[in-house]
């Protein structure tokens, strides 16, 4: 309680929080502004019959189910980011830009990602509109109406990307993650209402509901435990004399988090799972009939709970390792330690330190990846056991909500500590 009061006593921090809340409210407002001519009943049937589109709707904060002007959410930007991260493994220049050119290089890297977002949003908007028109959710669109709606939806995605970056600049959490967080939280009232309705009509037994609450609490506790868990590697610094002063000679530690990647692997995995659907939609440019066949094929494949769960589990583990490799480079850490005169006891500086850190991060990441994968598919297992659709997306949603809340809390605390030092 004291922390909350302290946050709102600091004018600069209070203004940042109010601006972030205002931007999230703007996102929620945009998510309920629909494009014209929707058959809401048919749209609801399509979303309920496709688990992938259900995920997409949750991540867009209900924007897809409203067919709003931001119906694509931040998916095109996330896809563009994945493409750029993968390209760093192919093109050394991009890797050098991201790792070695500092903040200027990363700003340029992110600018290229934003440029890629626009064509991806155009293609995805065109594919979705063709799919929905073919399913009868939208009336037959003239070429002018189709192009107009594609431009509106693309503009909506670019606007959300800009809002996400504005939020990130306030250093209260990752803007894209907070937008997804807001979308998930906004769906909670509807989920609770569905639980109550299922219970009243007898499709949801009280023991299943109690079990779900217990699992949800265990997931929250597990996420907090894993997100906060870290391996501390002792680091010593050699004594150095400069002029009349002596530096170093102290001991510290290098913290390596169990889940170095946060919720990014979950977001990336869902984006990749949506990619076949995106390809099927984009095929409408060549042939609307082919697009419909591919869409039906993808829907049949991913509606298989076992296949979907297996692919989702593997993707989460792969992306946990991938993103950890992107954000934690043992060679770079080893170089920085050596420059600062630091060393790990019993390990030679340089390549030996790099190999040691690589082995440590590999073993720790395995635990974090396995946990994320199990949590991601836990709702699928629950749904298979109970046969209740309402329990199908709780794990991923809880994982993102708790992890993003922890990250934002951590960043707010760091700003409070920084201001305490400034005051001192």
Region 367-372 average pLDDT: 85
pLDDT value at 2 more than 70: no
- Range in 23-37, 290-304, 317-331, 397-411 with the lowest mean pLDDT: 290-304
| Residue-level pLDDT at 424 | 44
What is the H or E stretch that residue 252 is in?
Answer: strand 251-257
Contact in structure between 163 and 23 (CB atoms under 8 Å): yes
DSSP 202: T
What does DSSP assign to residue 78? Answer: H
pLDDT at 118: 92
pLDDT of residue 312 exceeding 80, the answer is: yes
Residue 10, classified by CB atoms within 10 Å of its CB into exposed (0-12), middle (13-18) or buried (19+), is: middle
Q: Is pLDDT larger for residue 99 or for residue 97?
A: 97
All domains in the chain, ordered by first residue: 2-423 (1.10.3370.10)
Separation CA 207–CA 284 (nearest Å): 46
Q: Among candidates 262, 194, 278, 183, which has minimal Cα distance to 228?
A: 262
Whole-number pLDDT of residue 400: 78
Q: Which two tokens stand for residue 160?
A: 């959300």
- Looking at per-residue pLDDT, the higher value among 403 and 316 belongs to 316
As a whole number of angstroms, the distance between CA 292 and CA 273 comes to 18
β-bridge partners, 236: 251, 343
Query: Under 8 Å CB-to-CB from 106, ≥6 apart: which residues?
Result: 97, 98
The DSSP bridge pattern shows strands 342-343 and 230-237 to be antiparallel
So what's the pLDDT on residue 22?
93
Q: What is the mean pLDDT of the chain?
A: 77
What letter does residue 255 receive in the DSSP assignment?
E
276 pLDDT above the threshold of 50: yes
Higher pLDDT pick, 61 / 321: 321
Instruction: Pinpoint the alpha helices (H) of 202-263.
Output: 206-228
The DSSP element (H or E) to which 235 belongs, if any, is: strand 230-237
Q: Are 27 and 161 in contact (CB under 8 A)?
A: no
Contact 110, 168 (CB under 8 A): no
> Do 11 and 420 contact (CB within 8 A), yes or no?
no
Beta bridge partners of 245: 242
According to DSSP, residue 348 is labeled: -
pLDDT for res 393: 45
- Distance set, CA 18 to CA 14, 23, 52, 162, 172 (Å): 6, 9, 34, 17, 11
Query: Judging by beta carbons within 10 Å of its beta carbon (0-12, 13-18, 19+), is residue 140 exposed, middle or buried?
Result: exposed
Lowest mean pLDDT among 106-115, 127-136, 141-150, 317-326: 127-136
Look at residue 248 and tell me whether its pLDDT is greater than 60: no
421 contact partners, CB below 8 Å, separation of at least 6:
none
Quick count: other Cβ atoms within 10 Å of Cβ 362?
13
What pLDDT, in 10s, does the model give residues 296-311? 777 777 777 788 788 8
Residues near 161 by beta carbon (within 8 Å), at least 6 away in sequence: 74, 76, 77, 114, 117, 176
Interatomic CA distance for residues 61 and 72, integer angstroms: 10
Q: Is the pLDDT of residue 341 over 80?
A: no
Q: Which residues pair with 232 in a beta bridge?
A: 255
Residue holding tokens 């500590």? Answer: 417
**CA angle, 230 as apex, 332 and 417 as ends, to 5°?**
85
* Mean pLDDT, residues 377-390 taken together: 66
Residue 410: per-residue pLDDT: 82
Count Cα neighbours of 380 within 13 Å in the Cβ-side half-sphere. Answer: 21
Helices (H), 283-329: 288-302, 305-327
Share of residues in the chain with pLDDT > 70 (%) = 78
Per-residue pLDDT band at 295 (split at 50, 70, 90): confident
**Which pLDDT band, with edges at 50, 70 and 90, does 105 fall under?**
confident
**What residues contact 24, with CB distance under 8 A and at least 6 apart?**
167, 178, 179, 182
Which whole-number Å values give the CA distances from 21 to 164, 170, 200, 401, in the listed order?
12, 11, 35, 16
Q: What is the mean pLDDT of residues 268-274?
A: 78
Q: pLDDT tens across 29-84, in order?
A: 888 887 766 666 667 666 666 666 666 776 676 677 777 888 888 888 888 888 88
């Amino acid at each position: 309680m004291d922390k909350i009061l302290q946050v709102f006593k600091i004018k600069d921090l209070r203004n940042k929080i109010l601006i972030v809340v205002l931007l999230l409210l703007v996102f929620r407002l945009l998510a309920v502004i629909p494009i014209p001519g929707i058959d809401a009943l048919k749209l609801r049937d399509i979303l309920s019959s496709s688990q992938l589109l259900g995920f997409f709707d949750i991540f867009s904060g209900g924007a897809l189910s409203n067919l709003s002007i931001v119906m694509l959410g931040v998916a095109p930007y996330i896809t563009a980011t994945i493409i750029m991260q993968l390209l760093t493994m192919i093109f050394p220049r991009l890797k050098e830009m991201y790792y070695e050119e500092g903040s200027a290089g990363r700003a340029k890297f992110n600018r290229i990602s934003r440029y890629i977002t626009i064509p991806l949003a155009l293609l995805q908007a065109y594919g979705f509109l063709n799919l929905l028109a073919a399913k009868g959710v939208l009336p037959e669109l003239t070429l002018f109406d189709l192009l107009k709606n594609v431009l509106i939806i693309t503009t909506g995605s670019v606007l959300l990307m800009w809002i996400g970056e504005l939020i990130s600049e306030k250093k209260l959490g990752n803007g894209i993650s907070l937008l997804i967080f807001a979308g998930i939280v906004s769906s909670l009232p509807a989920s609770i209402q569905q639980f109550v309705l299922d219970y009243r009509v007898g499709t949801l037994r009280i023991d299943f509901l109690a079990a779900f609450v217990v699992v949800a609490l265990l997931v929250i506790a597990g996420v907090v435990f894993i997100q906060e868990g870290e391996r501390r590697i002792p680091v010593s610094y050699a004594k150095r004399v400069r002029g009349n002063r002596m530096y170093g000679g102290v001991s510290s530690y290098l913290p390596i988090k169990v889940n170095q990647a946060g919720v990014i692997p979950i977001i990336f995995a869902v984006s990749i799972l949506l990619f076949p659907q995106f390809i099927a939609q984009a095929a409408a440019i060549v042939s609307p009939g082919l697009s419909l066949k591919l869409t039906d094929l993808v829907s049949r494949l991913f509606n298989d709970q076992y296949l979907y769960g297996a692919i989702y589990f593997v993707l989460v583990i792969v992306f946990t390792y991938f993103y950890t490799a992107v954000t934690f480079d043992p060679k770079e850490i080893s170089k920085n330690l050596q420059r600062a005169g630091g060393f790990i006891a019993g390990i030679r500086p340089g390549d030996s330190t790099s190999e040691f850190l690589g082995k440590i991060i590999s073993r720790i990441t395995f635990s974090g990846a396995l946990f994320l994968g199990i949590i991601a598919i836990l709702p699928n297992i629950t749904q298979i056991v109970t046969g209740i659709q309402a329990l199908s997306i709780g794990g991923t949603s809880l994982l993102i909500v708790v992890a993003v809340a922890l990250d934002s809390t951590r960043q707010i605390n760091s700003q409070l500590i920084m201001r305490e030092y400034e005051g001192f």
